[in-house]
Amino acid sequence: MQLLSRISSYFIILPTVVGWYLFKKLTSEFKLLTLNLTMLTLIELMMKYLGYYKINNLFIIHIFLPLEFILYAFIYQYSLKNWLPKLLIPLGCVIFILLSILNSIFLQKIYTFPSYALYLESILLILLSLLYFYQVFTELKVEKLWEEGMFWFSIGILVYYSGTMVMYLSSNYLLKIAPKSFAFFYYLSQSTCHLAMYSLFTIAIWKGQKK
């Protein structure tokens, strides 16, 4: 299990390297994705460094969650520009930042896990991914869906955030009925979702080159 967890945590390097290798050839959406993955890679390394020295690293999650949401949301801004009001996603990002700050100040302090902000991010990104699929299957303009980078990106978002949200929502119940099994379930689910998402993001970036 530790091996799987380590592989999944470092697997983000694959789509990040592919993204920078193809950076000049990528469309705007996937340049943003590459920047987001680079940020996440640096954050992952920083959290591991602090964790190694037994320093509470949860404050980093409070900082990067809003940044992550903004970058993902603006990727969808490009794709859904004909379906959403122009200011909806920027306004949604501002509201998300404000709610995250309020959560960090009043509900879940910076040295605790910001589950409420994570739930909100998960719900919003799942909705954006579903809206993308609704757009695709309503307009029927895409002949080869598997050749579209946004298709693979949206599958990655849907798989990861729906999978982890189910895990987080069921965590309290699992802790009550099977506390000894919870750690195994948590790391297995988290590692599997990470591997799936970063694999799909790698395909998305490869397919996200300018036509």
What tens digit of pLDDT does each residue of 18-62 get? 999 999 999 999 999 999 999 999 988 888 888 888 888 889 989
Q: Which residue has the higher pLDDT, 185 or 70?
A: 70
How many Å apart are CA 180 and CA 174, to the nearest integer?
A: 9
3-state secondary structure at position 109: coil
Q: Report how many domains make up the chain.
A: 1
Q: What is the pTM of this model?
A: 0.89
Q: Which residue has the higher pLDDT, 98 or 168?
A: 98
How many Å apart are CA 125 and CA 70, to the nearest integer?
A: 10
Contact 62, 97 (CB under 8 A): no
Nearest CA to 132 out of 153, 112, 146, 147 is that of 153
Containing structural domain, residue 149: 2-207
Total number of residues shown for the chain: 211
